[in-house]
């Protein structure tokens, strides 16, 4: 419905009814108790297409609703409505550029768009979907059976989620594969870095061997150095993960539709899982350092210091 009385220019909005359980977050209104809306009242987004609509609160404006005439031919029906409030435009539960109106007004416009009277529209078309919100999870089975006894096809959100086991298994498998790939990369990185360190410190290894250090001791030093690097990397990874997940959780809580499902401050695996992954990281890095460290530690003092 184009809004013709906006001083900033016409704006195309889409009218729908509000839901009591999912009312939009109102930022400005003409009265304290805005809902339920009275006949001929609408609630607009605070801005749309970059246009500020705050000046329209309390005004009666003209909107044009589409009317069906015959196939391929349409007309417009002008109507006067009062803007009684604005809601946060970031709340897009019903899509962007949505205007909420009272039920009777929405039904009248929908009937005109279908080329029917209001009674004919409600009798032959009506709503294509209905969302029922229960006050607790314990009441969902009873509500579901009551709706089904009325001969309506109905299912719960939990049933919809249970219908996606294949997708959830694929996500789990993908996570395990990525974890394995990261382990291989950590192992290869440890082999490469330790080999490079052994070559760079050949002279130091030669000196240690010359003053009496055994090959096992030298190898232990190189492996311990890589293990310490693994510990530091694991700790930094945990710190970054906690910071990133905390920021993500805070951002998700700003979305009203998602906020009820984000209860944890830090949506990460449990402490035991994090510790296990960190220990596994250190073990993989240390294991990757064993072979090149052993090769470097076996060099003779003469060979290690020949380029001194």
Per residue in 37-59, pLDDT (tens digit) is 999 999 999 888 778 888 889 99
* Predicted local distance difference test score (pLDDT) of residue 292: 78
Centre a 10 Å sphere on the Cβ of residue 103 and count the other Cβ atoms it contains.
12
User: Predicted confidence band at 305 (pLDDT cuts at 50, 70, 90)?
Assistant: low
Query: For residue 240, is pLDDT > 70?
Result: yes
pLDDT beyond 90 at 85: yes
Burial zone of 128 (CB within 10 Å; 0-12 exposed, 13-18 middle, 19+ buried): exposed
* Residue for token pair 């993500």: 248
Contact call for residues 63 and 1 (beta carbons, < 8 A)? yes
Note down the domain range covering 25.
2-126
8 lies in the same domain as 61: yes
The answer to whether position 86 is within a domain reads yes
Q: Is 269 inside a domain boundary?
A: yes
- Is the torsion defined by CA of 215, 216, 218, 223 positive or negative? positive
Residue 72: pLDDT over 50 = yes
Q: Which residue has the higher pLDDT, 255 or 13?
A: 13
Mark whether 116 and 181 lie in a shared domain: no
**For residues 293 and 34, which has the higher predicted lDDT (pLDDT)?**
34
Q: Is residue 139 part of a domain?
A: no
**Measured between alpha carbons, how far is residue 228 from residues 41, 200, 224, 225 in Å?**
67, 19, 6, 5
Is residue 151 domain-resident?
A: no
pTM beyond 0.75, yes or no: no
- Number of domains the chain is built from: 2
Kindly give, in sequence order, each residue whose CB lies less than 8 Å from that of residue 21, ignoring residues fewer than 6 positions away. 131, 133
Domain limit, last residue, from 126, 150, 184: 126
Whether 80 and 192 share a structural domain: no
Query: Of 6-10, 229-233, 250-254, 255-259, where does the model show the most confidence?
Result: 229-233
Q: Which of 126, 153, 181 is the last residue of a domain?
A: 126
Evaluate whether residue 198 is within a structural domain: yes
**Shared domain check, 294 and 201:** yes
């Amino acid at each position: 419905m184009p809004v013709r009385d906006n001083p900033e220019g016409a704006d195309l909005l889409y009218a729908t009814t509000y839901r009591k359980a999912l009312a939009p977050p109102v930022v400005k209104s003409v009265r304290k108790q805005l809902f339920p809306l009275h006949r001929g009242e609408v609630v607009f987004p605070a801005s749309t297409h970059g246009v500020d609509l705050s000046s329209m609160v309390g005004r009666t404006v003209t909107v044009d609703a589409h009317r069906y005439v015959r196939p391929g031919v349409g007309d417009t029906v002008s109507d006067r409505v009062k803007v009684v409030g604005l809601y946060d435009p970031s709340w897009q539960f019903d899509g962007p550029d949505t205007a909420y109106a009272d039920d009777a007004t929405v039904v009248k416009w929908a009937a005109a768009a279908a080329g029917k009277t209001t009674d004919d529209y409600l009798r032959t078309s009506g709503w294509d979907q209905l969302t029922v919100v229960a006050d607790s999870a314990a009441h969902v089975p009873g509500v579901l059976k009551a709706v089904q006894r009325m001969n309506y096809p109905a299912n719960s959100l939990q049933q919809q989620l249970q219908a996606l086991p294949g997708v959830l298994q694929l996500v789990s498998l993908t996570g395990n594969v990525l974890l394995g790939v990261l382990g291989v990369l950590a192992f290869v990185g440890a082999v490469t870095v330790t080999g490079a360190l052994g070559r760079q410190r050949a002279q130091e290894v030669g000196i240690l061997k010359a003053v009496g250090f055994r090959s096992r001791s030298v190898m232990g030093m190189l492996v311990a150095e890589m293990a310490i690097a693994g510990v530091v990397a694991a700790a930094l990874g945990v710190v970054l993960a906690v910071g990133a997940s905390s920021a993500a959780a805070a951002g998700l809580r700003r979305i009203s539709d998602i906020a009820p499902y984000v209860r944890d401050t830090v949506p990460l695996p449990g402490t035991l899982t994090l510790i296990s992954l960190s220990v596994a990281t250190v073990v993989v890095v240390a294991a990757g350092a064993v072979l090149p460290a052993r090769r470097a530690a076996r060099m003779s003092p003469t060979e290690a210091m020949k380029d001194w």
